[in-house]
Amino acid sequence: MNQTSSEAIKELLYKMADDLLIIGHRNSEWTGLGPILEEDISFSSMAQDKIGQAQALYQLLNDLGEQEPDTVAFTRNANQFHNAQLLELPNGEYDFSLVRHFLYDHADQLRFEALANSSYEPLAKVARKVKGELKYHVFHANTWMVKLGSANEESHNRMQAAFNEAWNYALGMFEKSSFEDQLIAEGVFEGEETLQEKWLANITPYLIKAGIEIPASTSWNPVFGGRIGNHTANLSPLVEEMSEVFRFDPTAEW
């Protein structure tokens, strides 16, 4: 692996790992507050899966010469994170959290699916390992989306409103990297544009079943910036809370 492609791979790993860590933490904020016990446990358990997936990617970064996973996760400032802004937004009501879960997890599953064939074998290996977890996460998201999108007027209106709110942020997940062409040429990753096309094709049938409408494409206005460290004011307090124990005692085990 030459110098440039190592930088390109690191950037890819950072944005994926940060997406997972931030959404993992956000979703874990529902623990103890979920709408019913069973859903609380399911959502929390998936949040733990996300943190575990993030850890696996931070480990790959560590193998490439970056710092230890915990150090990377807990000692950076908000502007050093590369997650899409969608994932740092506050949980809001459960409808928004479910819509974000649906939009993000579909993209995440497709990203890992493509990476299972990556020329960068360590990442391909992780991608193949998380396949089952992602399948369940997407199944969970689809079930809720279809059920609440079509259950009654209130649930439909709530899901549609949350969807409209999340949409441009969701498009922001596909912000292109400056290494885009290189990653594609070297067979590391298929690229954000292809990913977004596949994502749209995958979510559409569920949205039709749910009766949820995608905003007209003329109004699309992707919220970019997360990948280069531009974030909303919501990320800083999240990072602060997440790293509280680590900052208090870096050697603590929990």
Partner 1 sequence: MIKSLDPRVTRAEIEIENPIAPLNELDQWETYEVFHQKKRGDQHMHVGIVHAPNAEMAFLFGKEQYGRRGFSVNIWVVKTRDVFASEYDDSDIFDTVPEKQYREAGGYKVMEKINKYKKGV
Tell me how far, at minimum, the Cβ of 97 lies from partner 1, in Å. Answer: 13
Cβ proximity to partner 1, 135 vs 176, nearer residue: 135
Cβ proximity to partner 1, 45 vs 119, nearer residue: 45
Contacts with partner 1 by CB under 8 A lie at 29, 31-33, 36-39, 41-42, 45-46, 136, 139-140, 143, 147, 241
Contacts of 65 (CB under 8 A, 6+ apart): none
Tell me how far, at minimum, the Cβ of 138 lies from partner 1, in Å. Answer: 11
Contacts of 7 (CB under 8 A, 6+ apart): 179
Compute, in degrees rounded to 10, the torsion defined by CA atoms 93, 96, 97, 103.
180
Orientation of helix 131-150 relative to helix 192-210, angle to 10°:
40
201-211: b or e for each residue (b if 16 or more CB lie within 10 Å)? eebeebbeebe
- The number of beta carbons lying within 10 Å of the beta carbon of residue 155 is 15
Tell me how far, at minimum, the Cβ of 113 lies from partner 1, in Å. Answer: 21
Which residue has 């870096």 as its token pair? 250
CA–CA separation, 30 and 24 (whole Å): 11
Contacts of 179 (CB under 8 A, 6+ apart): 4, 7, 8, 11, 12
Cβ proximity to partner 1, 63 vs 93, nearer residue: 93
Cβ proximity to partner 1, 31 vs 164, nearer residue: 31
Tell me how far, at minimum, the Cβ of 135 lies from partner 1, in Å. Answer: 11
Tell me how far, at minimum, the Cβ of 91 lies from partner 1, in Å. Answer: 9
Six token digits for residue 20: 């997972």
Cβ proximity to partner 1, 29 vs 113, nearer residue: 29
- The number of beta carbons lying within 10 Å of the beta carbon of residue 35 is 11
Cβ proximity to partner 1, 48 vs 62, nearer residue: 48
Tell me how far, at minimum, the Cβ of 177 lies from partner 1, in Å. Answer: 34
